[in-house]
């Protein structure tokens, strides 16, 4: 999906996050509709500053949604309007044919992944969601989303060391996932994807997303720009 120009959104609330990240609660104008795929992102701008933001939740009937950005400095004051461009790029696929989904994340990557896990848990109850994350990941979530995660039908487990691969290898071999979503820094995401291939997961069934996005507003965006990529296409592009 390419960029959709919506126009503007109202900044309802700015919530401080861990480290240099910040959550922004936004509201679309009345009767303005936009279909967002979890995993996509948007651009907010004010005073010629453009900031890419990942969706933590997608707009519903209330037209409200939450995004996360790496900028700690507020763009505007609560209640004011921001220029908005989105949704942008490709999102996570819908696992219609899958029965076991393995989601792997670290740190900030939990946020762009949470939205799709919520949607799958709600609308595809036959899909078993198995979530592996590091201990620090939960500290990035706003309190309300920690409660939401606890309410999801998700088999979650803390992966104590991403440096030691034995634990993850054993998990993949035992689970035999139909699909894998990995949201982490690019180098780590590729490393984890290769490990899953080594243990029998087809590359076409693995999807990765870098936990940060940064896109120029001066050029068109196509699905090939991501931020979500099927891993066999990543491998093909590198060789």
CATH number for 192: 3.40.50.80
**Boundary (domain end) residue, out of 34, 58, 88:** 88
Q: Give pLDDT, residue 181.
A: 95
Q: Per mean pLDDT, which of 142-146, 149-153, 201-205 is the most reliable?
A: 201-205
Beta bridge partners of 209: 183, 228
Burial of 94: CB neighbours in 10 Å, binned 0-12, 13-18, 19+: middle
More confident residue, 199 or 210: 199
**Boundary (domain end) residue, out of 88, 109, 126:** 88
| Distance of alpha carbon 136 from alpha carbon 45, whole angstroms | 30
Mean of pLDDT values over 56-81: 81
Burial of 72: CB neighbours in 10 Å, binned 0-12, 13-18, 19+: exposed
Q: CA nearest 39: which of 106, 125, 113?
A: 113
Same domain, 112 and 229: yes
pLDDT (tens digit per residue) in 50-61: 888 999 888 877
Q: What H or E segment, with its residue span, contains residue 238?
A: helix 231-238
**Taking the model in full, what pTM does it have?**
0.85
Within a domain: 179: yes
Same domain, 172 and 151: yes
| Distance of alpha carbon 20 from alpha carbon 183, whole angstroms | 19
pLDDT (tens digit per residue) in 103-123: 998 877 888 888 899 889 888
Domain containing residue 125 = 100-238
Q: Residue 216: is its pLDDT beyond 50?
A: no
Question: Whole-number mean pLDDT of the chain?
Answer: 81
How would residue 212 be classed by pLDDT, with cut points 50, 70 and 90?
Answer: low
Same domain, 42 and 132: no
Domain count, the chain: 2
**Beta carbons of 16 and 22 less than 8 angstroms apart:** yes
Within a domain: 66: yes
pLDDT (tens digit per residue) in 166-183: 878 888 888 899 999 999
Q: Give pLDDT, residue 228.
A: 93
Of the candidate ranges 41-45, 69-73, 204-208, the one whose mean pLDDT is the lowest:
69-73
Within a domain: 173: yes
Within a domain: 15: yes
Within a domain: 94: no
Q: Give pLDDT, residue 2.
A: 46
Same domain, 109 and 184: yes
**Boundary (domain end) residue, out of 53, 88, 123:** 88
Q: Give pLDDT, residue 105.
A: 87
């Amino acid at each position: 999906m390419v960029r959709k120009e919506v126009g503007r959104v109202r900044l309802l609330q700015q919530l401080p996050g861990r480290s240099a990240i910040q959550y922004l609660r936004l509201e679309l104008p009345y009767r303005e509709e936009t279909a967002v795929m979890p995993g996509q992102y948007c651009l907010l701008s004010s005073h010629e500053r453009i900031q890419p933001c990942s969706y933590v939740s997608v707009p519903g009937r209330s037209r409200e949604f939450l995004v996360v950005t790496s900028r700690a400095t507020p763009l505007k004051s609560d209640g004011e309007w921001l220029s908005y461009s989105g949704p942008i790029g490709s999102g996570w696929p819908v696992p219609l044919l899958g029965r076991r989904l393995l989601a792997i994340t670290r740190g900030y990557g939990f946020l762009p992944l949470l939205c799709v896990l919520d949607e799958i848990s709600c609308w595809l109850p036959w899909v078993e969601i198995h979530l592996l994350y590091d201990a620090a990941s939960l500290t990035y979530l706003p309190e309300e989303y920690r409660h939401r995660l606890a309410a999801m039908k998700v088999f979650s487990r803390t992966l104590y060391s991403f440096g030691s691969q034995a634990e993850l290898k054993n998990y993949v071999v035992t689970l035999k996932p139909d699909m894998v979503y990995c949201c982490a820094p690019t180098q780590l995401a590729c490393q984890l994807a290769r490990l899953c291939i080594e243990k029998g997961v087809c590359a076409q069934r693995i999807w990765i997303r870098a936990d940060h996005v940064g896109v120029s507003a001066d050029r068109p965006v196509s699905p090939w720009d991501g931020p979500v990529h099927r891993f066999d296409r990543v491998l093909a592009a590198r060789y």
